[in-house]
Chains A and B, each alone.
Chain A
Amino acid sequence: MERQRERIDVRPNPETTARIGKARSAIKIRSRAVVELRCQMSYTSSEKVSGPARRKLPFLRDNTILQVRDLRVYYHTPLGAVRAVDGVSFDLRVGERLGLVGESGSGKSTVAMAIMRLIKPPGRIEGGQAFFDGVDLLALPEKEMRALRLAAIALVAQGAMNSLNPVTRVRDQFADALRDHGEILTRAELEARIRDLLANVGLRPEVAQKYPHELSGGMKQRVVIAIAICLRAKVIIADEPTSALDVVVQRQVIETLRRAQEKIGASIMLVGHDMGLMAQVVDRLGVMYAGRLVEVCGVDEIFRGPLHPYSQLLIASLPTLDHRGTFQGIPGLTPSLMDRPRGCSFHPRCPLAMDRCAAEAPAMREVRPGHFVACHLYESAAPELAMQTAIGG
């Protein structure tokens, strides 16, 4: 800690210092440590910083904002541990939209919640790292994590329309968020800021005076997006942001999210189950099955040439408006996460399973540039990825 403090004195950044000043006067509880953390984050070149929080990462790339490595989250039940997320690694690049798709129980929402550090008992993060701009979020004290939420990583939660406070006007929800993160504004500044944020999501300024129940589902979701971008977060995690909305409104909300993200230059991690939505929105897609990523690649490639048998069957099972009358589901059931099959979790349902699949879990391999797949079928195509290697091409 001593060392870090010195570092700040050596290299003060005027803008950051100003922000820190505001933050300090705003909340008394804000610790020195948080302030230091913010200082570190404002450094742009990674080599200037060394020390415990900004570890030298062999796989760090300049265009990566979030790196998740070997993330494990288990839910501890009386019957045993449910391995909801069991060794997930991926990168989120600056300004990119990454999709995380999977069926219910695949662990996709748990990944999102673990990055936000919002896993509640009986769930527990058992291992792994999530480096945000070089800082391991999973190792941060809660107080520091709290300062980063919304300011650096914002969450648009599942059913987010219910995440607004029902007894507070929309404007006050903005005011709370800004004040909590040390933005001290005059009344006029605040009103202008809110008007601006609402305009960004295509809502009229009058919405600020309304209570959540006076708004439709789509409007509420857009208010939530406006709050998510109010501090220009670098990463927006959107967990099924439109699952409760009608298809017409879904499109409006998703396009709002995309515009807002492009405007502030954030990265998006979009968690969901709808492959159609993913195709329309994301740049790269990770497919999860039973708590693990089975394939990560560009969205074009996954739809044109999925490699993992699960991805292949999943894409073939999508009903389209192109041809009718063919129903191809995936036979079998998703495995219990308490008693996962040995080897590859998908082998009991896989039409191409070999003896080996039942014995040995396949590792993630980069079989083509930027195309990662965890399947024994592609063994010869590429050497195994070390856990440290960036999954992100």
Chain B
Amino acid sequence: MSALLEARAVTKFFGGGLRGRRMTAVENFSLTIASDPPSIIALVGESGSGKTTLARLFLGLVEPSEGLVLYRGANISTLSAADRQAFRRDVQVIFQDPFEAYNPFYRVDHVLETPVLNFGIAASRAEARRMIAETLRAVGLRPEETLGRYPHQLSGGQRQRIMVARALLIRPRIIIADEPVSMVDASLRATILGNLRQLHEEFGISLIYITHDLTTAYQISQNIIVLYRGMIAEAGDAEHVVRDPKHPYTQLLIGSIPYPDPHRHWKGEAAPSAEGALSSDHGCRFASRCPSAMAVCRDSVPPMFRTGAHRGSACYLYRDGEVVPAADLGAVLVQGDGAV
């Protein structure tokens, strides 16, 4: 098992000039994505949880304030030209907004042809066309209805699937998908998630699936990492995290999901709102909203405690468990291709 992409004790804060308040988006986050076996891991959090900042850190679009992001063991901000080329091929991204990912002046062919030619994936233009057509079919699009069109002539779902096709065309090792289906209609959402899973199964591509939606995270991933204000609240096997959430925040999240069943009502009372509940920098970030907060929660940040073979929860309710060091998150994740 070799580490393909690795975040090592990464912290990222924004602001904090002479007078500004420093905003910590990600704090002491470590995660290793192995190239073999391929995995699907979901980073789940609400707005402000730092999930998109994590995606940008992994892509090298922002530099960590502290810690390192490594690609095959090398710091991605100081890669050599050849390594950078390999990194850009191996790590692909699908963004949330399929409208903004295109240059409106080019036909959609452009976003597909450019990487094929740049990375020398096809020997000739004709071969490139053939590969593009094949890939479009693989994500359920008809090439004759898609190619030669401008982005505005396609629907959001079509555009997002072209982005999936583009990621697939390059045959990367990892796809970082940042809310790939949140702007797509329900009937297409399942199709696109299916496409992503298919990439994982058929081509052995690892996936970092970043979302606010625990339901789709549960559908697609082996492991779920729940983030709250830049820190990991709970991590582990998707099945366990969703079925039997341990961290009070995960419980709140799962309790708030509207079930598509009129006989299954939201459980309990709506939780006290986050309004005005400023998270302190000392203790657990969730303490001010937490129904079971104790004195210790306000004084120090809880480490991750092991709550099962494949799960851990950063909550003092579970302080009897063994402490999992932040650098060793992998210890609570399911390893290998535990096919869903």
Does A pair with B? yes
Please give the residue numbers on chain A whose beta carbons come within 8 Å of chain B beta carbons, in ascending order: 103-105, 202, 215-216, 218-219, 246-252, 254-255, 273-281, 299-300, 303, 313-315, 317-321, 324-325, 327-331, 333-334
B260-278 interface (Cβ within 8 A of A): 260-266, 270-271, 273-275
B260–A250 touching, CB < 8 Å: no
Q: Size band of the B side of the interface? A: 35 or more
For residue B193, which residues in chain A have a CB less than 8 angstroms away from its CB?
319, 327
- Residue from B140, B157, B242, B262 in contact with A321 in the complex, judged by beta carbons closer than 8 Å: B242
User: Which B-chain residue is minimally distant from A254 (CB atoms)?
Assistant: B258
With contacts A216-B275, A319-B190, A329-B187 taken as known, whether A280 is within 8 angstroms of B215 at the C-beta atoms is: no
B266–A280 touching, CB < 8 Å: yes
A-B CB contacts (within 8 Å), total count: 134
Instruction: List 21 A-B residue pairs with CB atoms under 8 Å apart, sorted by A's residue number.
Output: A103-B187, A104-B185, A202-B273, A215-B275, A218-B274, A248-B253, A248-B274, A249-B273, A250-B256, A255-B270, A279-B261, A300-B262, A313-B187, A315-B260, A317-B190, A319-B219, A320-B260, A321-B257, A327-B194, A329-B188, A334-B185
Q: For the complex, what is the distance from the CA of A138 to the CA of B107, rounded to whole Å? A: 42
Q: Is B155 an interface residue when CB atoms closer than 8 A count as contact?
A: yes
B218–A280 touching, CB < 8 Å: no
With contacts A317-B190, A319-B216 taken as known, whether A276 is within 8 angstroms of B260 at the C-beta atoms is: yes
- Residue from A104, A105, A279, A327 in contact with B258 in the complex, judged by beta carbons closer than 8 Å: A279
How far, in Å, is A214 (CB) from chain B's closest CB?
11
With contacts A276-B259, A277-B258, A324-B340 taken as known, whether A317 is within 8 angstroms of B189 at the C-beta atoms is: yes
B194–A329 touching, CB < 8 Å: yes
How far, in Å, is A237 (CB) from chain B's closest CB?
20
How far, in Å, is B301 (CB) from chain A's closest CB?
22
For residue B288, which residues in chain A have a CB less than 8 angstroms away from its CB?
none
Q: Is B46 an interface residue when CB atoms closer than 8 A count as contact?
A: yes
Q: Is B214 an interface residue when CB atoms closer than 8 A count as contact?
A: yes
Q: For the complex, what is the distance from the CA of A320 to the CA of B258, rounded to whole Å? A: 10
Q: For the complex, what is the distance from the CA of A325 to the CA of B192, rounded to whole Å? A: 13
For residue B140, which residues in chain A have a CB less than 8 angstroms away from its CB?
331
Could you list 10 further interchain pairs (A-B, Cβ under 8 angstroms) beyond the known A215-B275, A317-B189?
A: A218-B275, A248-B46, A250-B258, A252-B273, A280-B265, A315-B260, A319-B216, A320-B215, A321-B218, A325-B340
A317–B258 touching, CB < 8 Å: no
For residue A329, which residues in chain B have a CB less than 8 angstroms away from its CB?
187-192, 194
A314–B197 touching, CB < 8 Å: no
Q: Is B114 an interface residue when CB atoms closer than 8 A count as contact?
A: no
B256–A327 touching, CB < 8 Å: no
Q: Is B160 an interface residue when CB atoms closer than 8 A count as contact?
A: no
A303–B260 touching, CB < 8 Å: yes
User: Which A-chain residue is minimally distant from B238 (CB atoms)?
Assistant: A324
A317–B187 touching, CB < 8 Å: yes
For residue A299, which residues in chain B have a CB less than 8 angstroms away from its CB?
262
A321–B187 touching, CB < 8 Å: no
B186–A216 touching, CB < 8 Å: no
Q: Is B252 an interface residue when CB atoms closer than 8 A count as contact?
A: yes
Q: For the complex, what is the distance from the CA of A279 to the CA of B264, rounded to whole Å? A: 9
Pick from A202, A299, A330 the residue with the most CB of B within 10 Å: A330
B262–A325 touching, CB < 8 Å: no
Q: For the complex, what is the distance from the CA of A340 to the CA of B265, rounded to whole Å? A: 38
